[in-house]
Amino acid sequence: MASHSRVTALCLMLAALVIRAVGADEASMLKSCWNAKYNSRPIRFEEWTSGHPVRLYMVDAWWSPRRNSFPLTIFTMMSLDRLNMLESQCRGYIGPISAAVYIPLVLDHDPNLGDDFNTTHDVENGDDHHGFGRNDGNGGGNGDSDSDDDGDGDGGEGDKAATTVLVRRRYIREANRENPVALARAKLKNLFNQMEEEAARAAANKSIPGCCCQLRLMLLAERMSDSPLASIMPTNAMRNAAMLGATTPLSAMLDVDLAPCMNLNALVQNATWVQGISEYTTRPSICIPPAWETKGHLQPSTKNEVVQRAITGTKADVLDMWSRSELQVFQVNVCKHCHKTFDHARWSKEDMPYTVQHTLGFEPWGILWRLRDPGYDERFRGWLYDKQTHVEALARKHRYTFTVLPDLWVLHRPHKKVAIVQIYRKSANTTGEGSGDVEALLRPIVLSNGKNTTVYTAYRHHMDSMRRNLRSSFAAHKPYEPQQNAQFLHCKSVLPWWQQQA
Ligand SMILES: *[C@@H]1O[C@H](CO)[C@@H](O)[C@H](O)[C@H]1NC(C)=O
Ligand SMILES: *[C@@H]1O[C@H](CO)[C@@H](O)[C@H](O)[C@H]1NC(C)=O
Ligand SMILES: *[C@@H]1O[C@H](CO)[C@@H](O)[C@H](O)[C@H]1NC(C)=O
Ligand SMILES: *[C@@H]1O[C@H](CO)[C@@H](O)[C@H](O)[C@H]1NC(C)=O
Ligand SMILES: *[C@@H]1O[C@H](CO)[C@@H](O)[C@H](O)[C@H]1NC(C)=O
């Protein structure tokens, strides 16, 4: 559809953007634009439900100085206990990954926590020996033991590296026992350094396979005066923050528990493919890969092995694993309409991209033309409707079409369900692992209108009514603007890589 001259113009733009050198400045630009508009007043649960924007402080940012030559940035957000999943993503993708990591600071016990944020001095915590170990304590203060230990099995560190990690872990524990911010910062810094070191080692030695993504990492802290919000992450505000670290013409939000197939690394180096995707995304269209997960009955170790095979294998391998019931369509048991729109039977036969009609509740991940991503509605916290709302806005406000990609797929890595989802799916366990978070959500609260309820019920009520309002606005063609905080908007207006025209 696009004319030849349009395509040429796009290619020139791609080239110009890709050549843009990445330097050490980006991290400090990001930090200073974000924190310039920071309001340090702690938030309360009912401030959120009455529409107050999120207030996050960017504690620190790290930006890989390695040069990027690929046209796609993956961006993602997570709580601190999922750093191991970010590490897996980073080992799997050769291009840039921008990640925002969240820590809640509940001021019940320590009213001064984070008070020094506005002084913005760079606390170095003494040394470079901080480390991150995949199983060390969940220091983030969110008490989340949502263990992903049954998650990825592809850590693959050598013995020497493992020893270093152990030593580093001890330093973290000793140095930062009572300071969740310093602890989180140390863990992120260590992951960042580790990825850089391994990339350098791999680059210097041809017999080591290439590693790793060019990581852009942000640590964001939220001060809250009461605890309910601590287990209701500002999911969409975090996605917007992470999006700021995307610099390339194309970007894709991929939740941290998702692994793109390795074929992506070949595709982003394939000029024909990149040109095709650029044409679709500027139409505009969101280019969507189907998501798969392992079958529930499999043992955890088998699940990891299945995920690994599905990531590294060919499309034929994936289809074979589907037919042998090792894989299934993502969430097919719990939410049939969420991914049904892909028409997986058709996907299995297609080798050309095809268009599908948006259906209510459709929840794909996908690639967008970065400058045309309208961003996420930050009123949605936690794990309900956050992504659907974005997809719905693309379809109904911005008139996006949906292009299914025949040669790309993503795998969901198994992990324990987060507390909100457990309760939502009525599978909550108030005695097992991660029960602290479930309990926090089931705790009674008395709202300012005198209503006696639980955190979860109040949360659910708020989310449901927002979604209803949103859907009726779309249906009536009423104007809809996502809520986006002043810090995000300010950064978007000043960061040099956000100044091009869409
Ligand atoms: C930081 O912010 C707090 C609350 O807004 C204020 O009381 C304090 O004086 C500020 N500190 C500095 C060093 O600006
Ligand atoms: C390169 O890596 C291989 C495999 O890990 C290792 O055996 C070899 O010693 C390395 N070479 C150098 C020069 O470091
Ligand atoms: C590059 O991508 C195009 C379009 O997806 C595909 O037809 C072609 O086979 C790919 N080339 C290589 C070398 O993989
Ligand atoms: C709840 O957790 C306990 C302790 O881990 C476990 O024994 C029990 O089987 C779990 N129940 C459900 C329904 O998952
Ligand atoms: C609210 O409900 C809880 C549990 O149902 C009860 O223990 C508490 O006393 C109630 N509080 C008020 C103010 O009604």
pLDDT for res 151: 28
For residue 450, tell me if it sits in a domain. Answer: no
- Model pLDDT for residues 418-470, shown as the tens digit of each residue: 777 777 777 766 666 667 778 888 888 888 888 999 888 999 999 999 999 99
Positions in the chain whose pLDDT score sits under 50:
1-2, 12, 15-16, 18-21, 119-167, 171-172, 174-175
Does a structural domain hold residue 265? yes
Nearest by Cα to 307 from 27, 88, 86, 65: 88
3-state secondary structure of 73: strand
Which among 145, 416, 422, 429 is the best mutation to test ligand 4's pocket, defined by most ligand atoms within 8 Å of the CB?
429
How far apart, in whole angstroms, are the C-alpha atoms of residue 452 and residue 446?
5
Please, what's the b/e burial string for 42-81 (b: 16 or more CB within 10 A of its CB; e: otherwise)? bbbbbbbbeebbbbbbbbbbbbbebebebbbbbbbbbbbb
Please state, in angstroms and rounded to a whole number, the distance separating the CA atoms of residues 494 and 219.
20
Q: How far apart are CA 452 and CA 458, in angstroms?
A: 10
Task: Tell me, yes or no, whether 295 lies in a domain.
Answer: yes
Task: Report pLDDT for 220.
Answer: 98
pLDDT for the residue numbered 138: 31
Nearest-CA residue for atom 9 of ligand 4: 432
93, 126 Cβ separation under 8 angstroms: no
The residue to which tokens 């209701």 are assigned: 232
Give residue 369's pLDDT.
98
Angle separating helix axes 386-396 and 235-243, nearest 10 degrees: 60
Instruction: Note whether residue 280 is domain-resident.
Output: yes
| Strands (DSSP E) found in 172-290 | 214-224, 250-253, 258-260, 285-288
Cβ-based burial of 449 (10 A; exposed 0-12, middle 13-18, buried ≥19): exposed
Can you tell me which atom of ligand 5 is nearest the CA of 446? Answer: 13
Cut 0.85: pTM above it: no
SS3 for 222? strand
Nearest residue to 63 (alpha-carbon basis) of 202, 307, 242: 242
| Cα–ligand 3 centroid distance for 408 (angstroms) | 12
246 within a domain of the structure (yes/no): yes
Our count of domains for the chain comes to 1
38 CA from centroid of ligand 3 (Å): 46
Q: Is residue 99 part of a domain?
A: yes
Question: What is the distance in A from the centroid of ligand 5 to the CA of 49?
Answer: 21
Helix H, strand E, coil C: the string for 460-484 is: HHHHHHHHHHHHHHHHCCCCCCCCC
Which structural domain range is residue 422 located in?
A: 4-428+467-498
- Could you tell me if residue 26 is inside a domain? yes
Let me know if residue 435 belongs to a domain.
no
